[in-house]
Amino acid sequence: MATRGRPRTFDPDTALRQALDLFWERGYEGTSLNDLAQATGIASASIYTCFGSKENLFRKVMALYGTTSGEPPRRALREQPTARAAIHAMLRATADEITRPDAPHYCMLILAAPTGAVENHAIREFLAGLRHDQLTTIKDRLARGVTDGDLTAPPAGLDALARYYTTVVQGLSVQARDGATRAELEEVITCAMAAWDTLAPAPSHIGG
């Protein structure tokens, strides 16, 4: 039961990356199938045969985006030993990603389709769902800090703290989009982390 029928003349993964580049630069509605056909060198009919529809292609592109550009911040959250270090490293990894010279200076998840035509409501909610996952991931990391003993549950609440740093992440993309440099983002991150010790003092090591 090997491959049946005529084989593909292009690599879908390569096409997906090329589509990613376009959607990243121009957003969902700003990218046309004509643009995609030209950038990939594939006729639009073949794009439909392979990916189904523009919306479906975009969803697959976002999956690829999540496993590539989304990975460094997620890894920072995962691998840093304390909640504080994890948040700090995540912010810095985000700043790194959104100031790369070879890519648009913002997070695609945030700016590819925040508003748009009524007919594309489903796509916007799809992205909103992924953004909500960001918040959840950050919240989970803070909870792990409490479990690990490197963070005392702050009076403001873990949820508030998680939402605060999510807000900073999202604001950073607008800043980078508007031309802020990596150094300027670093300053913003420094300010954002200054809130930490007030909000979430390190646990006293009594008994530990």
Partner DNA sequence: CGGTTTATTTGTCGTTCGATAAACAAAGGA
Partner DNA sequence: TCCTTTGTTTATCGAACGACAAATAAACCG
- Interface residues with DNA (CB under 7 A)? 1-10, 29, 31-35, 42-46, 48-50, 53-55, 117
List interacting residues with its own copies (CB under 8 A). Answer: 25-27, 29-32, 104, 106, 110-112, 114-118, 120, 128, 131-132, 156-157, 159-161, 163-164, 166-172, 174-175, 177-180, 184, 187-188, 190-192, 194-195, 197-199
Pick what 54 binds: its own copies, DNA, none; C-beta below 5 to 8 Å, kind-dependent. Answer: DNA
Pick what 106 binds: its own copies, DNA, none; C-beta below 5 to 8 Å, kind-dependent. Answer: its own copies
The residue among 19 and 161 lying less far from its own copies, judged by its C-beta, is 161
Task: Name the minimum Å distance from CB 46 to DNA.
Answer: 4
Residues in the chain: 208
Q: Between vectors from CA 160 to CA 187 and to CA 95, what angle results, nearest 5°?
A: 30
Pick what 204 binds: its own copies, DNA, none; C-beta below 5 to 8 Å, kind-dependent. Answer: none
The residue among 46 and 82 lying less far from DNA, judged by its C-beta, is 46
Pick what 191 binds: DNA, its own copies, none; C-beta below 5 to 8 Å, kind-dependent. Answer: its own copies
φ, ψ of residue 7 in degrees (nearest 5): -75, 155
Helices (H), the chain: 12-26, 33-40, 44-51, 54-68, 71-79, 83-97, 108-111, 121-148, 158-177, 182-199
CA distance linking residue 29 with residue 109, whole number of Å: 14
Task: Name the minimum Å distance from CB 148 to its own copies.
Answer: 21
φ, ψ of residue 113 in degrees (nearest 5): -165, 60
Question: What count of other Cβ atoms lies within 10 Å of the Cβ of residue 25?
Answer: 14
The residue among 33 and 50 lying less far from its own copies, judged by its C-beta, is 33
Pick what 5 binds: its own copies, DNA, none; C-beta below 5 to 8 Å, kind-dependent. Answer: DNA
Distances (CA, A) of 83 to 99, 138, 148, 167, 198: 24, 9, 9, 17, 15
What token pair was written down for 207? 């008994």
Task: Name the minimum Å distance from CB 54 to DNA.
Answer: 3
Distance from first CA to last CA of the chain, Å, rounded?
Answer: 61
Pick what 160 binds: DNA, its own copies, none; C-beta below 5 to 8 Å, kind-dependent. Answer: its own copies
The residue among 18 and 175 lying less far from DNA, judged by its C-beta, is 18
